[in-house]
Amino acid sequence: MRYPHFTRRLLVVLPSVLMCLIAINTASAIEHAKAKHVFYFIGDGMGSLQREVGEQCLKGITQNPDATLLMNQLPVQGFLQTRSANKNITDSAAAGTALATGYKTNNTVVGLLPDMKTPVPSIAELAHQHGLKVGILTSVTLDNATPACFFAHQAKRSHYYPISVQLANAPFAYFAGGGLQGLEHNGDNNLELAKTNGFVITQSRKQLAEQRPGTRVIALNESDKAQHAALPWEVERKDSDISLAQFVEQGIRLLDNDKGFFMMIEGGKIDWAGHDNAIGTLAREVVALDETLKVAMKFYKQHPNDTLIIITADHETGGMQKIGKPDPQYLANFTASFEHFKFQLIELIKNKATYEQAFALAQSQFRLDPLTEEQALDMQKGWALLLDSAPIKFNYKKYNPFIENCLVLAARKAGYQFTTHGHSNVDVPISAIGVGSDWFKGTQDNTVVTRYLYQLITGKPFSVLQEPGQ
């Protein structure tokens, strides 16, 4: 099943949308040179305190108390409001749509207006129409909500197969990151479809480096699970694994051309660690995104007059609060992800291990001592419940006292606490440097990003579609 009807409909509707745009007053006439090279970084779930935790981890890693994340050093600093069209607390689909298209939509919706029928073009699609080559990069699966908002139009973010069909049919030049959750359906394989559309699929650093500029590439990590999986957690990434920073390096090489390029880069696993409340894992993901930003910054220094770099977030995840003095070394000393801990815990549960064995595992991962009597009792009860549970499932919405105490105590040792396993509605930071970067100062709605980008790329004012019912 190829979903050709939707693709045909989209090809018909999008030009109509563009022709039916109704101009609105935005910023005054373009005062800046055009942005020929655009790097659009999104830290999924990365609020101000997530940045701070990453920076504290960097201090510990480098043994330098003055170490600072590059994203926090950029000359323009502002904030974005994140609510969706129908909820005070957004999800990644609605927030991604706002950041990608300049329009609010309802939670779970990808690239459509709230009527869940009308597609709106993303800044990536508009940049492509303007002649720029486009790359979409992420540390998670390519059909996940945030990257999907830049190339897909679906009523539900969970429609992974049709989303990945739209990826395979997209006119863009470069996709890189995890594989596709919606890879196959009824015998059809969307990577095979992508090949028929001219894409080369690479699954190693060597294969990617061999591709010539101008080749259309879908680059996956070197793994037997890479066609379905996200990139490895940064805290345990092997040298053989391609990093997000390396994907950006190759993207610059493949996309660079006389007309310019647009590249969206998502640090998606910041959000996953935030949902888990796994502070050590989260900190390393933020540091990794900052390392990726350095690659773009190197390019900017060579092309300062026509390059724009922005880095922001779709929302904050975890409701983080600062409760004490941060401990940089504690954050830097994590050597395994929370996911790895869960896998080890499952094996202990299967083998009906003792509480002492389970606590030894927790201690090796989180360095929890000392515990209060109440905490120790909670963890003992929690372990007994885990042994009795069947089937064994881990869901961050249903963590039991043993796991919850591990997470809570670890965050407190670092100097922080989480208040939810979900998202919050706090404003998220946006930082920028380069052509037109001063437009991103202050506190603004998240829909302004694409509206400003459109003006900076094309030299024309962004116009807003008359939404149904208005």
Give the span between the Cα atoms of 253 and 420, in whole angstroms.
Answer: 41
pTM score of the predicted model: 0.91
**What element of type H or E holds 144?**
none
Who contacts 182 (Cβ-Cβ below 8 Å, separation ≥6)? 143, 159, 160, 161, 162, 163, 164, 165, 190
In a domain, 17, yes or no: no
Q: Is the pLDDT assigned to residue 452 strictly greater than 60?
A: yes
Q: If pLDDT is split at 50, 70 and 90, which confidence band does 385 have?
A: confident
In terms of domains, do 174 and 318 share one?
Answer: yes
Q: Is the pLDDT assigned to residue 1 strictly greater than 50?
A: no
Give the span between the Cα atoms of 173 and 71, in whole angstroms.
Answer: 27
pLDDT of amino acid 184: 84
Sequence-ordered strand ranges (E) for 304-375: 307-312, 316-317, 321-322
Tokens matching residue 362: 């927790």
pLDDT tens for residues 216-229?
999 998 765 555 68
Cα 374–Cα 375–Cα 377 angle in degrees, nearest 5: 65
In a domain, 360, yes or no: yes
pLDDT tens for residues 336-365?
999 999 999 989 988 999 999 999 999 999
Task: Give percent helix, percent strand, percent coil of the chain, each to the nearest 5.
Answer: 45, 15, 40
In terms of domains, do 118 and 249 share one?
Answer: yes
| Total structural domains within the chain | 2
pLDDT of amino acid 12: 44
In terms of domains, do 174 and 238 share one?
Answer: yes
In terms of domains, do 236 and 287 share one?
Answer: yes
User: Beta partners for 321?
Assistant: 417
Rg (CA), the chain: 22
In a domain, 224, yes or no: yes
Q: What's the domain range around 398?
A: 336-414
In terms of domains, do 306 and 398 share one?
Answer: no
In a domain, 389, yes or no: yes
Region 288-313 average pLDDT: 99
Region 159-187 average pLDDT: 94
Q: What is the CATH number of the domain that holds 109?
A: 3.40.720.10
In terms of domains, do 378 and 450 share one?
Answer: no
In a domain, 21, yes or no: no
pLDDT of amino acid 21: 41
Give the span between the Cα atoms of 433 and 453, in whole angstroms.
Answer: 13
In terms of domains, do 289 and 349 share one?
Answer: no
In terms of domains, do 449 and 349 share one?
Answer: no
In a domain, 203, yes or no: yes
In terms of domains, do 455 and 395 share one?
Answer: no
pLDDT tens for residues 131-161?
999 999 999 999 999 999 999 999 999 999 9
In terms of domains, do 188 and 47 share one?
Answer: yes
Give the span between the Cα atoms of 69 and 289, in whole angstroms.
Answer: 10
In a domain, 367, yes or no: yes
Q: Is the pLDDT assigned to residue 107 strictly greater than 50?
A: yes
Give the span between the Cα atoms of 392 and 386, in whole angstroms.
Answer: 8
In terms of domains, do 186 and 259 share one?
Answer: yes
Nearest to 130 by CA among 431, 460, 468, 467: 460
Give the span between the Cα atoms of 285 and 105, in whole angstroms.
Answer: 28
Q: Is the pLDDT assigned to residue 464 strictly greater than 80?
A: no
Region 244-259 average pLDDT: 97
pLDDT of amino acid 187: 85
Decide which of 218 and 401 is more confident: 218
Tokens matching residue 95: 């927030």
Q: Is the pLDDT assigned to residue 329 strictly greater than 60?
A: yes
Q: Is the pLDDT assigned to residue 6 strictly greater than 50?
A: no
Q: Is the pLDDT assigned to residue 165 strictly greater than 50?
A: yes
In a domain, 16, yes or no: no
Q: Which of 190-204, 223-237, 274-288, 384-398 has the lowest mean pLDDT?
A: 384-398
pLDDT of amino acid 66: 98
Mean pLDDT of the residues in the chain: 91
Give the span between the Cα atoms of 44 and 100, in whole angstroms.
Answer: 13
In terms of domains, do 410 and 431 share one?
Answer: no
Q: If pLDDT is split at 50, 70 and 90, which confidence band does 186 have?
A: confident
